[in-house]
């Protein structure tokens, strides 16, 4: 009988090494964000994409948590844009469950809706959003007419 495989490092040491190598320098856990100030929420409401493209992820996560909990009085379109930015940040940080939760919030409000500012979003988020939307629509037998745009010359 052969003896079972024994790793060179204990399991915990291997995990710590993996985390040290794989974790990006600016990584922050999503659940430990501080509450956003009203001034920060107002700035985020005006243009959440500025936070995403300006690499202001910590501030965007603070504001995103406020959006998820219903604080700040965001209008429906502002909320969808903010949730899309929040999902993009979570996905970029490797937090797919949190990204899915943000996308789910968008789809709860509009199951057949479109991703806000799709052309500005990373491909991974576009794929996640439309995969979840299409699955939801198939499960609930929701049909959307195709959006075909042609140009006659």
User: Per-residue pLDDT tens for 70-104?
Assistant: 877 888 888 999 999 999 999 999 999 999 999 99
Distance between the two ends of the chain, CA-based, in angstroms? 77
Q: Residue 31 has what pLDDT?
A: 47
Q: What is the mean pLDDT of residues 107-122?
A: 88
Residue 3: Cβ within 10 Å count: 5
Q: What's the DSSP call for residue 47?
A: -
The whole-number pLDDT of residue 85 equals 93
Query: What pLDDT does 74 receive?
Result: 84
Of 41-45, 110-114, 123-127, 141-145, least confident by mean pLDDT is 141-145
Q: Is the pLDDT of residue 2 over 90?
A: no
Considering the entire predicted model, what is its pTM? 0.68
pLDDT at 46: 87
Cα–Cα distance, 98 to 68 (Å, whole number): 11
Task: Note the pLDDT tens digit of each residue in 48-77.
Answer: 988 888 888 899 998 888 888 887 788 888
CA–CA distances in Å: residue 64 to residues 13, 69, 78, 88 = 34, 9, 11, 11
């Amino acid at each position: 009988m052969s003896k079972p495989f024994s790793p060179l490092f204990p399991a915990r040491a291997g995990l710590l090494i993996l985390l040290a190598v794989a974790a990006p320098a600016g990584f922050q856990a999503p659940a430990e964000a501080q509450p956003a100030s009203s001034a920060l929420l107002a700035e985020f409401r005006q243009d959440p994409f500025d936070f995403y493209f300006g690499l202001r992820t910590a501030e965007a996560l603070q504001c995103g948590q406020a959006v998820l909990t219903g604080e700040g009085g965001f209008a429906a379109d502002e909320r969808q844009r903010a949730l899309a930015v929040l999902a993009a940040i979570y996905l970029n940080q490797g937090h797919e469950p949190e990204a899915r939760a943000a996308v789910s919030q968008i789809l709860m409000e509009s199951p057949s809706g479109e991703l806000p500012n799709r052309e500005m979003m990373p491909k991974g988020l576009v794929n996640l959003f439309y995969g979840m939307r299409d699955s939801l629509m198939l499960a609930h037998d929701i049909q959307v007419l195709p959006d075909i745009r042609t140009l006659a010359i």
